[in-house]
């Protein structure tokens, strides 16, 4: 069984990983060579909603709480962009260089969305903690 704060933590971790991946994609937007050969491939993460394992008392929790879990990082298998640069060391026999299929503008937009996602999770975490503190105030003597 896990609780709301764990769900929020997992959400924050997922958003953070997404930003890391996006940073990597932007940084390597022009990378034409990789150890595995060919240009850098755009990466993306796969997130799955993991619900709490069935426990004796928490069938309601099981319904409400779903924790985002990163299943893995996948490489985009789409065709690389070709640019005619015969003098480039990574050019093919026809003189074309394969560049990663990364749209920097779109990636920047994705990054903004990921940042907002992180902020939203922080807000959720904040109000969660605030609720706990407020609950303590019910006891008037303290």
Partner 1 sequence: MAMNITGLKAYKEIQSIVTPKETQATEAPVKGQPKEGFAQFLKDAIHDVNNVQATAEDRVEGLITKKPGYTNHEAMIALEKADIAFQLMNSVRSKIVRAYEEILRTQV
Nearer to partner 1, 58 or 85 (CB): 58
Min separation Cβ 13 and partner 1, Å: 6
Whether the CB-CB separation of 45 and 69 falls below 8 Å is answered with no
Binding site for partner 1 (CB under 8 A): 2-6, 8-9, 12-13, 16, 121-122, 125, 128-129, 132-133, 135-136, 139, 141-142
Min separation Cβ 57 and partner 1, Å: 12
Vertex 92 angle, CA 104 and 88, to 5°: 65
Nearer to partner 1, 2 or 96 (CB): 2
Min separation Cβ 104 and partner 1, Å: 27
Whether the CB-CB separation of 24 and 43 falls below 8 Å is answered with yes
Nearer to partner 1, 12 or 22 (CB): 12
Min separation Cβ 117 and partner 1, Å: 12
Structure tokens that stand for 63 in this block: 């319904």
What separation in angstroms does the CA of 24 have from each of 10, 104, 124?
21, 11, 27
Nearer to partner 1, 8 or 102 (CB): 8
Mention every residue, 6+ apart, whose C-beta is less than 8 A from residue 97.
32, 82, 83, 84, 85, 88, 90, 91
């Amino acid at each position: 069984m896990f609780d709301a704060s764990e769900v929020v933590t997992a959400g924050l971790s997922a958003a953070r990983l997404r930003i890391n991946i996006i940073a990597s994609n932007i940084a390597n937007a022009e990378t034409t060579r990789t150890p595995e050969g060919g240009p850098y491939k755009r990466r993306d993460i796969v997130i799955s909603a993991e619900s709490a394992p069935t426990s004796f008392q928490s069938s309601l929790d099981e319904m409400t709480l779903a924790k985002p879990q990163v299943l893995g990082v996948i490489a985009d298998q789409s065709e690389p962009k070709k640019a005619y640069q015969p003098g480039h060391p990574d050019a093919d026999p026809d003189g074309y260089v394969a560049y990663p299929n990364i749209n920097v503008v779109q990636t920047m937009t994705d990054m903004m969305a990921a940042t907002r996602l992180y902020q939203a999770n922080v807000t959720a975490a904040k109000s969660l903690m605030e609720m706990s503190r407020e609950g303590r105030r019910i006891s008037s003597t303290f």
